[in-house]
Amino acid sequence: MGRGPSAFNIVSVVLGLAFLYAPIVILVVYSFNASRLVTVWGGFSTRWYAALFQDRQMLDAIWVTLRVGVLSATIATVLGVIAALALVRGGFRGRLALAGGIYATLVMPEVILGLSLLLLFVAAGLPRGFWTVTLSHATLTLAYATVVVQARLRSFDVGLEEAAQDLGCPPWKAFVLVTLPVIAPAVAAAWMLAFTLSLDDLVIASFTSGPGATTLPMRLYSQVRLGVDPKINAVSTLLIGLVATGVIAVYLVQQRDERHKRLGLGHT
Q: What is the mean pLDDT of residues 177-184?
A: 84
pLDDT range class, residue 1, cuts 50, 70, 90: very low
Residue type, 8: F
Closest by CA to 85, choosing from 72, 71, 98, 100, is: 98
| Residue 226, in any domain of the structure | yes
Where residue 228 falls (left for φ over 0; alpha for ψ -120 to 50; beta otherwise) is beta
What's the CA gap between 105 and 213, in Å, rounded? 23
| Residue 239, in any domain of the structure | yes
| Residue 20, in any domain of the structure | no
Query: pLDDT exceeding 90 applies to what percent of the chain?
Result: 24
Q: What is the mean pLDDT of residues 6-13?
A: 84
| Residue 174, in any domain of the structure | yes
Q: What is the pLDDT of residue 182?
A: 82
Q: What is the mean pLDDT of residues 81-107?
A: 83
Hey, how many other C-beta atoms are within 10 angstroms of the C-beta on 24? 13
| Residue 156, in any domain of the structure | yes
Q: How many domains does the chain have?
A: 1
| Residue 10, in any domain of the structure | no
Residue type, 79: L
Which pTM value belongs to this model? Answer: 0.81
| Residue 218, in any domain of the structure | yes
Q: What is the pLDDT of residue 133?
A: 94
Q: What is the pLDDT of residue 119?
A: 93
**Which pLDDT tens digit goes with each residue over 192-232?**
889 989 988 989 999 998 887 888 888 888 877 777 778 88
Q: Which domain holds residue 209?
A: 54-267
pLDDT at 2 over 60: no
Cα 233 from chain centroid? 21
**Which pLDDT tens digit goes with each residue over 103-141?**
888 888 889 999 999 999 999 988 888 999 999 999 999
| Residue 43, in any domain of the structure | no
CATH code, domain with 246: 1.10.3720.10
